[in-house]
Amino acid sequence: MSEMKSVVVVGAGQAGATLVQRLRELGYEGALTLIGAEPYLPYQRPPLSKAYLLGDMDLDGLTLRPQSFYDEQQISLKLGSPVTAIDASQQTVTLDGKTIAYDHLVLATGGDAACLAADMGGNLDGIYAIRGIADINRLEPQIVAGRKVLIVGGGYIGLEAAAVCAKRGLDVSLVVASERILRRVAAPQTADYFRALHESHGVRIIEGAQSVHLLGDQDSGKAGHVCHARLGNGMALDFDFAICGIGLIPSIELAEMAGLTLENGIWTDEFSGTSDPHIWAAGDCASFPYRGGRIRLESVGNAIDQAKAVAGNIVASLNGTEKKPYLAKPWFWSDQYDVKFQIAGLNSGYDHVVKREGSDGATSLWYFKGDELLAVDAMNDGRAYMVGKRLIESGKSADQAIIADPDADLKQLMKR
């Protein structure tokens, strides 16, 4: 690495921040630039819909590293400056009217919150998303005890928002178009657990809404401000404001500009390289090979692990050494009220679930395809999560009789 090189990372989220740090740790000494569209130092996103929205964490608490770290590591930060162009043939990016040349470019652009379509009222005032600091800063003044909020979406973001609003004393209704909450990510048993949890805190959950149309108040002169909802199942709701938590759309505009192959995000090979040999992708925006198929993971764990893998492969490319495939080890978590929900593995393709009742209300659900252990959902059961995670990552299965026996020690599973 004697010849000076330049690495540019676009996207200053968890993946981008991890990547530049890892490059320096691995001995990369060339020019290093981290570009972020938001005007904030790289920060954590998960607490936005939890501690930050509750007011239990401030901006300093969100920040991953202070400015001094980037100064000491000679990492050039370009914040509040979105990239406006990529010229893959010339290997340059443009921002603020200036170009930066790169030998290796990493797209860690994440994604944007999905919104309801305009013909469903998605363009009305009073609808809030939860994706970045600016979103929460706009939303927080609305979180006033006694007000009515409609939350559209029954995934992690929607449920976390419901928990915060309920804890802050709001009247909360959560609407899901599909037949149940957590339909895409968890078994009916897990959905049952969280439905009961939220209803015990006064949240009204409406499943099977079929469709959601948001409306303004035509009679009061506030036609442009959302305050009504008409559901496909015939129900109607009134509220003061709405939160939309219906998923994430990967940011692929720059990848399109660079002429990269796209497939549910930015296509990458087993090394996290894109269809351009000088461009890589990591985090929420990247799709990659996994167990004979392709996936795109929206999680902090994947953002960190894939960013480290990309950093290692960039250094290997510069040194002329062998690159290493990225082997994802999926894990996720969600905090709702006093429940810590931890997930290890991916349950796609499961054919049955084994439930385990732990002590003090702890519960875990173990997903199997035949005898193969695929994933574990653990609610306030850190031991079940850790044992399941280790088994899945080592490619081992588990004795289902031991799992189902609440008196059996889960450590037995590790000895088999």
84-101 residue pLDDT tens: 999 999 999 999 989 999
Confidence bin at 2 (pLDDT 50/70/90): very low
Hey, is 370 helix, strand or coil? coil
pLDDT in tens, 340-369: 999 999 999 999 999 999 888 899 999 999
Report the range out of 121-125, 219-223, 281-285 with the highest average pLDDT.
281-285
- Please write the tens of the pLDDT for every residue from 57-77: 999 999 999 999 999 999 999
Task: Identify the pLDDT of residue 54.
Answer: 84
Using DSSP's 3-state secondary structure scheme, residue 45 falls into coil
Reply yes or no on whether the pLDDT at 10 is more than 90.
yes
Q: How far apart are CA 369 and CA 191, in angstroms?
A: 20
- Residue 225: exposure state from Cβ atoms within 10 A (0-12, 13-18, ≥19): middle
> Could you check whether 115-244 and 338-415 share the same CATH topology?
no
- Split at pLDDT 50, 70, 90, the class of 55 is confident
Q: How does the average pLDDT of the chain come out, rounded?
A: 94
d(CA 325, CA 333): 25
Domains of the chain: which residue ranges?
6-112+248-319, 115-244, 338-415
- Is the domain 338-415 a CATH 3.30.390.30 member? yes
Q: Give this prediction's pTM.
A: 0.93
Task: Pick the closest to residue 387 from 336, 342, 333 (CA basis).
Answer: 342
Give yes or no for a contact between 333 and 47, defined as CB atoms under 8 angstroms apart: no
**DSSP 8-class letter at 322:** -
pLDDT at 221 > cutoff 60: no
CA distance 177 to 210: 4
Query: Amino acid letter at 278?
Result: H
Q: Which residue has the tokens 């439905």?
A: 195
Q: Percentage of the chain surpassing pLDDT 90?
A: 87
In CATH terms, 6-112+248-319 corresponds, of 3.40.50.2300, 3.40.50.300, 3.50.50.60, 3.40.605.10, to 3.50.50.60
Q: What is the pLDDT of residue 62?
A: 93
pLDDT at residue 200, rounded to an integer: 97
Give CA separation, 76 vs 18, 67, 96, 100, in Å.
14, 10, 15, 11
Q: If pLDDT is split at 50, 70 and 90, which confidence band does 412 have?
A: confident
Mean pLDDT of 215-225: 71
**Confidence (pLDDT) at 217:** 80
- Could you give phi then psi for residue 165, rounded to 5 degrees? -65, -40
Amino acid of residue 411: K
The pLDDT of residue 416 is above 80: no
Start-to-end Cα distance in the chain: 46
Mean pLDDT of the region 177-199? 95
Q: Please, how many CA atoms are within 13 Å of residue 396, restricted to the half-sphere of its CB?
A: 14
pLDDT of amino acid 12: 97
Strand partners, 69: none
pLDDT category, 1, cuts 50, 70, 90?
A: very low
Residue 320 gets the label, from left (phi > 0), alpha (psi -120 to 50) or beta, of left
Topology (CATH) of 115-244: FAD/NAD(P)-binding domain (3.50.50)
Are the CB atoms for 373 and 392 separated by under 8 Å?
yes
- Model pLDDT, residue 196: 97
Neighbours of 114 (CB within 10 A): 16
